């Protein structure tokens, strides 16, 4: 009975304490909500209803009423940047950076946002200055990432290499590919300015970072050609088969030119035929097709393409076959063949483009760096029809 009496006395007490705590919490929530500007709540409501223009107007009013709303400043600046109103975003974030009543963490956050504003506005020098200021702070990783983007836009490859080497995980395959291409950019520039020794140093650096860098082998061959060393150039280009045979088509024309200067065209022709047999490629077929047309005539070109079509049936190959057939069929049949070729050619225009592995962007021209997503070596020299035929 004593235990039951105790519980009878304790239960009302516990109930009263719980009621009192709930009343305190409710009053605190109500007080905090009343302390917020009404326009702030209206802005949130507009955001939830996907009305960003009205939301921005409400947030601007809230900031005017209560300048202490730090988080609201950040939200407003981000909204302005997403809308493309970078001048307004810059003003908001610059005001935050200059304020003395914010924490160091908030100042770093404001600096990061300000750098992104400058970058979005195309003010690369000012963006660079902001992100350099963030080096060595908690925003170091973010600063490195944006600095790398800036230096690539500015084509300042030496600084891009320095930044990439400082990135976390810079020894991964992705970063090795990027840094090797930065060295290749420097090598190509040096070669264009008739500085073969400097170009060779950058090629060596690219291959040291990424031994499978096809572009470095291509440039090394070009350096050898510039110095009159065609045999060494051929040796450099032949290494591509071991690096990545997908890129062999990029060296095909160079190889035939070098063999031509050496007076060994047939040897070059046999090499390309062997590559085509081992590594089917529409671009490689196209190079061989034109060589056959020029040197052996349309009948030899026709036989080449017909043989390849039996192994790898493609519309682009059929288009080449009809091109050769036009020059070999009797005159009275050429009209029909021409009509078929026109129909096929209309379809091949859609499948004759290159496509980025990363983002799917398509273009008629090959790029070492995708123009859309900025990925390096994500744009293999394979036509979209070849992707569609790949199992």
- Pair (287, 363) in one structural domain: no
Are 138 and 106 contacting, i.e. CB atoms less than 8 angstroms apart?
no
- Pair (223, 303) in one structural domain: no
- Pair (272, 328) in one structural domain: no
Report d(CA 360, CA 388) in Å as an integer: 13
359 annotated binding-site participant: yes
The answer to whether residue 96 is domain-embedded is no
- Pair (259, 288) in one structural domain: no
The answer to whether residue 107 is domain-embedded is no
pLDDT digits over 234-267, tens only?
A: 999 999 999 999 899 899 999 999 999 999 988 9
- Pair (202, 270) in one structural domain: yes
Report d(CA 254, CA 270) in Å as an integer: 15
Report d(CA 274, CA 268) in Å as an integer: 10
- Pair (187, 272) in one structural domain: yes
Listed residues 278, 304, 337: the one ending a domain:
278
The answer to whether residue 103 is domain-embedded is no
- Domain of residue 387, residue span: 353-391
Q: What is the mean pLDDT of residues 7-29?
A: 46
The answer to whether residue 92 is domain-embedded is no
Question: Above 70 in pLDDT, residue 391?
Answer: no
Are 151 and 160 contacting, i.e. CB atoms less than 8 angstroms apart?
yes
CA distances from 77 to 18, 55, 72, 130 (A): 42, 12, 8, 16
CA distances from 57 to 40, 46, 239, 252, 314 (A): 10, 10, 62, 61, 57
Listed residues 278, 309, 326: the one ending a domain:
278
Report the phi/psi class of residue 215: left, alpha or beta, with left for phi > 0 and alpha for psi in -120 to 50: alpha
Q: Which of 253, 254, 281 is nearest to 380 (CA)?
A: 281
Report d(CA 135, CA 108) in Å as an integer: 11
The answer to whether residue 27 is domain-embedded is yes
Residue 38: both structure tokens together: 């009404």
Give every CB contact of residue 233 below 8 A, 6+ residues apart in sequence: 220, 221, 222, 224, 225, 254, 258
pLDDT digits over 218-228, tens only?
A: 999 999 999 99
Q: Which of 205, 203, 178 is nearest to 189 (CA)?
A: 203
pLDDT attached to residue 254: 93
The answer to whether residue 148 is domain-embedded is no
pLDDT digits over 192-222, tens only?
A: 999 999 999 999 999 999 999 999 999 999 9
Query: Which pairing describes strands 354-355 and 362-363: parallel, antiparallel, or unpaired?
Result: antiparallel
Number of domains into which the chain is organized: 4
- Pair (337, 372) in one structural domain: no
pTM of the model: 0.74
| Alpha carbon of residue 106 to chain centroid | 31
- Pair (182, 268) in one structural domain: yes
213 annotated binding-site participant: no
- Pair (312, 252) in one structural domain: no
Helix (H, G, I), strand (E, B) or coil at 69: coil
- Pair (359, 342) in one structural domain: no
CA distances from 94 to 68, 108, 157, 177, 204 (A): 15, 12, 30, 37, 44
Report d(CA 389, CA 391) in Å as an integer: 6
pLDDT attached to residue 236: 96
Per DSSP, 290 falls in state: H
Question: Above 90 in pLDDT, residue 42?
Answer: no
Residue 94: both structure tokens together: 């610059």
Report d(CA 272, CA 256) in Å as an integer: 9
- Pair (246, 270) in one structural domain: yes
Listed residues 278, 302, 329: the one ending a domain:
278
The answer to whether residue 295 is domain-embedded is yes
Q: Which of 148, 92, 80 is nearest to 120 (CA)?
A: 80
Report d(CA 274, CA 72) in Å as an integer: 66
CA distances from 13 to 2, 9, 23 (A): 17, 7, 16
Helix (H, G, I), strand (E, B) or coil at 268: helix
- Pair (263, 218) in one structural domain: yes
pLDDT attached to residue 27: 42
CATH number (domain holding residue 203): 1.25.40.10
pLDDT attached to residue 385: 55
356 annotated binding-site participant: yes
Question: Above 80 in pLDDT, residue 373?
Answer: yes
The answer to whether residue 190 is domain-embedded is yes
């Amino acid at each position: 009975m004593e235990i039951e009496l105790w519980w009878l006395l304790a239960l009302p007490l516990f109930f009263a304490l719980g009621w009192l705590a709930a009343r305190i919490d409710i009053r605190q929530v109500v007080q905090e909500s009343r302390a917020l500007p009404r326009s702030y709540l209206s802005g949130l409501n507009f955001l939830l209803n996907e009305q960003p223009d009205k939301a921005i107007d409400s947030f601007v009013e809230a900031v005017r009423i209560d300048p202490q709303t730090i988080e609201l400043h950040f939200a407003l600046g981000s909204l302005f940047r997403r809308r493309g109103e970078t001048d307004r975003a810059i003003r908001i974030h610059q005001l935050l950076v200059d304020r003395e009543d914010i924490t160091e963490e908030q100042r770093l956050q404001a600096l990061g946002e300000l750098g992104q504003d400058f970058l979005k506005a195309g003010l690369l020098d000012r963006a660079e200055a902001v992100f350099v200021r963030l080096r060595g702070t908690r925003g170091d990783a973010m600063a490195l990432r944006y600095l790398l983007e800036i230096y690539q836009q500015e084509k300042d490859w030496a600084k891009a290499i320095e930044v990439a080497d400082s990135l976390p995980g810079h020894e991964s395959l992705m970063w090795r590919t990027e840094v090797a291409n930065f060295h290749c950019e420097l090598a190509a520039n040096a070669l264009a300015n008739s500085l073969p020794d400097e170009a060779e140093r950058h090629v060596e650096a690219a291959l040291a970072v990424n031994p499978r860098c096809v572009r470095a082998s291509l440039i090394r061959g070009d350096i050898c050609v510039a110095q009159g060393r065609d045999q060494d150039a051929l040796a450099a280009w032949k290494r591509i088969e071991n690096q990545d045979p997908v890129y062999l088509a990029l060296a095909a024309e160079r190889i035939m030119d070098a063999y031509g200067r050496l007076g060994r065209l047939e040897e070059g022709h046999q090499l390309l035929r062997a590559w085509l047999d081992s590594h089917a490629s529409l671009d490689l077929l196209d190079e061989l097709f034109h060589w056959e047309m020029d040197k052996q005539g349309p009948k030899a070109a026709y036989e080449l393409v017909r043989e390849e079509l039996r192994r790898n049936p493609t519309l682009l190959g059929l288009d080449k076959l009809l091109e050769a057939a036009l020059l070999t069929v009797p005159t009275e049949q050429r009209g029909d063949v021409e009509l078929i070729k026109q129909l096929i050619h209309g379809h091949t225009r859609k499948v004759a483009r290159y496509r980025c592995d990363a983002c799917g962007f398509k273009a008629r021209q090959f790029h070492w760096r995708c123009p859309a997503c900025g990925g390096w070596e994500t744009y293999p020299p394979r036509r979209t029809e070849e992707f569609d035929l790949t199992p």
